Amino acid sequence: MPRSTTTGTAPDGEAAQTPRMTFVNLPVKDIAKATEFFAALGFSFDPRATDDNSTCMILSDGAYVMLHVEPFFKEFTRSEITDTSQSREVTMGVSAASRAQVDDLVVRAVAAGGQAMGGPEDQGGMYMRAFRDLDGHQWSLLHFSAAGPPDETDGRRAQPDRREP
């Protein structure tokens, strides 16, 4: 799948393509415990974007999760934090290389103090399991078969270059 890009104008007037990066921001009660939890799942962190208030968890070359202690998160969002025992503000979906990796990550999440959410779901071309992290955020781990995810309109497998502009 091609990376999303932003089109801008380079200093010489030519159009420039810059890969987009995605940053998801989540509040956590304890930055050290949250870091330890996600490290146990195999995620790494960018020390250049880590301090007492925040850490940058690396999902892939262009996708990151910024974990912020709750008071700091409230400062820059200027809003209250969702009570994850009562409602969801967001669910995180992360792909895995295989069904076995999906299962392994959920087992590791539970061993590190997370909570499994039901059993595996096999939807033909997609295999999924979910867990809640130490702060109650919901994470879905997904593996797509070689056929790819189903097309939302008719259930057929989506083709890589059939995307809408």
Specify the pTM. 0.75
3-state secondary structure of 40: helix
Q: Using alpha carbons, list the distances in angstroms from residue 37 to 41, 106, 146.
A: 7, 12, 31
Q: What is the CATH number of domain 90-165?
A: 3.10.180.10
pLDDT at 99: 95
For the chain, which residues make up each domain, given as ranges?
A: 21-82, 90-165
With the C-alpha atoms ordered 85, 50, 140, 91, is the resulting torsion angle positive or negative? positive
pLDDT at 8: 52
Nearest-angstrom CA–CA distance, 116 and 124: 22
21-82 matches 90-165 in fold: yes
Structure tokens at 55: 């850490």
3-state secondary structure of 139: strand
Which mean pLDDT values do the consecutive 10-residue runs of the chain (165 residues) have?
Answer: 46 64 95 98 96 96 96 91 90 94 97 96 93 96 77 43 32
* Class (C level, CATH) for 21-82: alpha beta
pLDDT at 12: 54
Nearest-angstrom CA–CA distance, 120 and 98: 13
Count the residues in the chain: 165
Q: What are the residues facing 87 on neighbouring strands?
A: none
